[in-house]
Amino acid sequence: MKFTVERDALAEAATWVARALPSRPVIPVLAGLLLRAAGDGLTLACFDYEVSARMRIGAEVSEPGTVLVPGRLLVEITRSLPAGRTVEFGPDPEGMSMTCGEATFILATLPADEYPELPDVPRLAGAADGGALAAAIGQVTPAASRDDTLPMLTAVSLELADGRMTLAATDRYRLAVRDLEWRPAPGGVVDEGGASVLVPARVMGDAARMMIAGSPVRILLRHAADGDADPVGDTGTIGFEVGERRLTTRLLAGEFIRYRSRFPAEFGCAAELPAAAFTEAVRRVSLVAERGTPVQLSFAPGRVTVAAATQGQARARESVPAEFEGDEPVIAFNPHYLLDGVVAAAGADADLPDGARVRLRFTTASKPAVVTHATTDEPAEFRYLVVPQRVAP
């Protein structure tokens, strides 16, 4: 096996693929990156029986072949090499040589014959805009549970229907749902009645990082309802493909909660809030709140006051402009849960858009509230249900 590759392309590919490497591999070979050199270039890949990542880049291949090398070490070495140079790989009695200018490294190879076979490519289900899908994933995944004792809640429910895709996640204390458009493939899963699957939220987040606005994301799917699926314990596989990058993961078993009925049909109170000012107020006030202590929202004509306290230590309050209608002017929330919903509803991951406004609707201080973007369009594409907390007297 012998090939030459651009250092920058190799660094980008190795870094991206290595993100899928297991932090504590159950067997040593799973810590490796698989390098396959062929006429169509160099493919870097990894697979730990659950998640696989692969990316192909251009390379001058003089001797095709396959080799398994320590993944994170390859990333560290490649990053240390000077940008804009080429890297030559070739056989060595002790493993694989890696040369860039005057620097040469010898990597001890891992037994490639013990490495699991990369998963087959599932069928094409359809495609969506990369920017829209990445934004939807960013809105929904914060609500997924991190409690591995309830695997179903660590997933994002992905429902694929004719022209409409719905993502949902919950940790029992909040529920995030986002609808968006997509383009089903002719003869794909939608033609067979659609599909509803559970995708690990962590993998969905990793997939979002490779998506680009304006570039299509190909969604590949093989689920238990397919005739091709293994009936013995195989829940299926989903893949996301952008250009030469492909990320796949096994689907989780189980049935997601029937979440649509959780959203109230009517509300007695509604507040419209400036997203940026309100978010900053909640962040500042929550600094004095102990873990598990809520922030309290008190509505008055034209304003909302955000307050929190740690008994015997500190108290804080801040007011921002707000429009409010209703007869229950006080409600309290976990500040982290509230902020996740407001930021997601405003349509941003970090810096909130200027002038963005969100709507908070509820009936009483003890029943779930719903956060959406302040738009007249109904139903809202993004909905965030959050359970309020009681305030100690």
In angstroms, the first-to-last Cα distance of the chain is 72
Task: Indicate the residue among 229, 260, 291 that finishes a domain.
Answer: 260
pLDDT of residue 223: 78
Query: Within a domain: residue 391?
Result: no
Q: Do residues 180 and 63 both lie within one domain?
A: no
pLDDT of residue 375: 76
Give the number of domains in the chain: 3
Q: Kindly tell me if the per-residue pLDDT of 350 is higher than 50.
A: no
Question: Which H helix or E strand runs over 9?
Answer: helix 7-18
Mean pLDDT, to the nearest integer, of 369-387?
Answer: 86
Q: Which of 190-204, 225-239, 298-312, 374-388 has the lowest mean pLDDT?
A: 225-239
Q: What is the pLDDT of residues 149-177, one digit of tens each?
A: 888 899 999 999 988 999 999 999 999 99
Q: Kindly tell me if the per-residue pLDDT of 376 is higher than 90.
A: no
Q: Do residues 229 and 277 both lie within one domain?
A: no
Query: Within a domain: residue 128?
Result: yes
Question: Which H helix or E strand runs over 335?
Answer: helix 335-346
Which amino acid appears at position 20 of this protein?
Answer: A
Q: Which of 38-42, 86-90, 122-126, 225-229 has the lowest mean pLDDT?
A: 225-229
CATH number, residue 39: 3.10.150.10
Reported as a pLDDT band with limits 50, 70 and 90, residue 232 is very low
Q: Do residues 331 and 358 both lie within one domain?
A: yes
Mean pLDDT, to the nearest integer, of 334-338?
Answer: 96
Encoded tokens for 88: 């030559």
Q: Do residues 110 and 197 both lie within one domain?
A: no
Task: Indicate the residue among 260, 282, 315 that finishes a domain.
Answer: 260
Q: Do residues 284 and 236 both lie within one domain?
A: no
Query: Within a domain: residue 355?
Result: yes
Q: Kindly tell me if the per-residue pLDDT of 364 is higher than 90.
A: yes
Q: Do residues 267 and 249 both lie within one domain?
A: no
pLDDT of residue 231: 47
pLDDT of residue 393: 57
Query: Within a domain: residue 392?
Result: no
From edge to edge, which strands make up the β-sheet containing 314-321?
A: 314-321, 303-310, 295-300, 330-333
Query: Within a domain: residue 34?
Result: yes
39 burial via Cβ count (<10 Å: 0-12, 13-18, 19+): exposed
Q: What is the pLDDT of residues 171-217, one digit of tens each?
A: 999 999 999 999 999 877 776 678 899 999 999 999 999 999 999 99
**Cβ atoms 46, 34 nearer than 8 A:** yes
Collect all residues with Cβ–Cβ distance below 8 Å to 164 and sequence separation of at least 6: 179, 180, 181, 182
Parent domain of 241: 123-260
| Percent of residues, the chain, with pLDDT higher than 70 | 94
Q: Do residues 272 and 355 both lie within one domain?
A: yes
Q: Do residues 84 and 213 both lie within one domain?
A: no
Query: Within a domain: residue 180?
Result: yes
